[in-house]
Amino acid sequence: MSDANTLLEITAADYALLKLKKRLDNLPQRARLLEIRTKRAEVDTHAAQVAQMRTSCDQALKLLQDEEAMLRERTHEVQAQIDKTNNYKEVTALTNELESFSRRMEKIEFDELRQMERSDKISQVAEQASAALARLTAQDEKLLASYQAQAGTIQKEAALTQRLREKLAADLPPDLLKRYEKARASKGGQGAAHIEGNHCSVCSVELTEGQLGKLRNGGEIGECPHCHRLLVVDA
């Protein structure tokens, strides 16, 4: 193969690689996965808040239950004291104490009920959050599998193209390859073009008769006066 043809094959491979990369970047699963993961992070935060509410609710309930147990014990003690004494004043004072225990216990029972209702609501919200997380995780897994399958096909094709390109590059004289790489780096993607009719095949700018003549007299490989890519002059 002539250097000019090798050059065109390399630029075709680079163009194919560029298109493959674009296809990979534009796989629709990527955007959707990002959406799902953002949503999942929100639900995670929410679930953490719910867990905190559960802890605080459990703690409040435990405090009430402890106080209730303590009051029951005190009630027995005071009751025993009343049973033992005949002193009227003492009995009155102890009875008052019992009544205050009883009032406090009523309030505690009311508060306990309220905490239990709160606990039920928290459980409902926690279940919803956990169901949402499970749903999002399942969606994520399904999308990821489909993304990986499609991306894998594209990456395999890119690897083959890359290998072909390396083989072609090895066939090119080093100085020509260097010129090509320089043009490719500055242009992004394709470093060479050919004359198609009377214009550059990549930048599409029409060449004047003078420019065409100069290129034809300059050998097989010139440079596009507009985009400065290497330009293969067709025989």
224 contributes a contact to Zn ion by CB under 5 A: yes
Nearest approach, Cβ of 212 to Zn ion (angstroms)? 13
CA gap 130, 125 in Å, rounded: 9
Q: Which range touches Zn ion (CB under 5 A), out of 42-50, 64-72, 145-153, 220-228?
A: 220-228
Q: Which range touches Zn ion (CB under 5 A), out of 18-26, 120-128, 142-150, 198-206?
A: 198-206
Using CB under 5 A as the criterion, what x/- string covers residues 154-193 for binding Zn ion? ----------------------------------------
Six-digit token string for 94: 């102890």
CA gap 82, 79 in Å, rounded: 5
226 contributes a contact to Zn ion by CB under 5 A: yes
Q: Which of 203, 212, 220, 222 binds Zn ion (CB under 5 A)?
A: 203
User: Would you say 20 or 200 has its CB closer to Zn ion?
Assistant: 200
User: Would you say 4 or 200 has its CB closer to Zn ion?
Assistant: 200
Q: Which of 200, 215, 221, 230 binds Zn ion (CB under 5 A)?
A: 200
Buried b (16+ CB within 10 A) or exposed e, 19-44: ebeeebeebebeeebeebeebbeebe
User: Would you say 165 or 194 has its CB closer to Zn ion?
Assistant: 194
Six-digit token string for 165: 């390109």
Positions in 52-91 near Zn ion (CB under 5 A): none
32 contributes a contact to Zn ion by CB under 5 A: no
CA gap 102, 97 in Å, rounded: 9
199 contributes a contact to Zn ion by CB under 5 A: no
Which of the 8 DSSP states describes residue 196? E
Is residue 99 within 8 Å of residue 41, measured between CB atoms? no
230 contributes a contact to Zn ion by CB under 5 A: no
CA gap 223, 226 in Å, rounded: 9
User: How many whole angstroms from its chain centre is CA 81?
Assistant: 69
Nearest approach, Cβ of 144 to Zn ion (angstroms)? 42
State in Å, rounded, how far the first CA of the chain is from the last one: 15
* Site residues (vs Zn ion, CB under 5 A): 200, 203, 224, 226-227
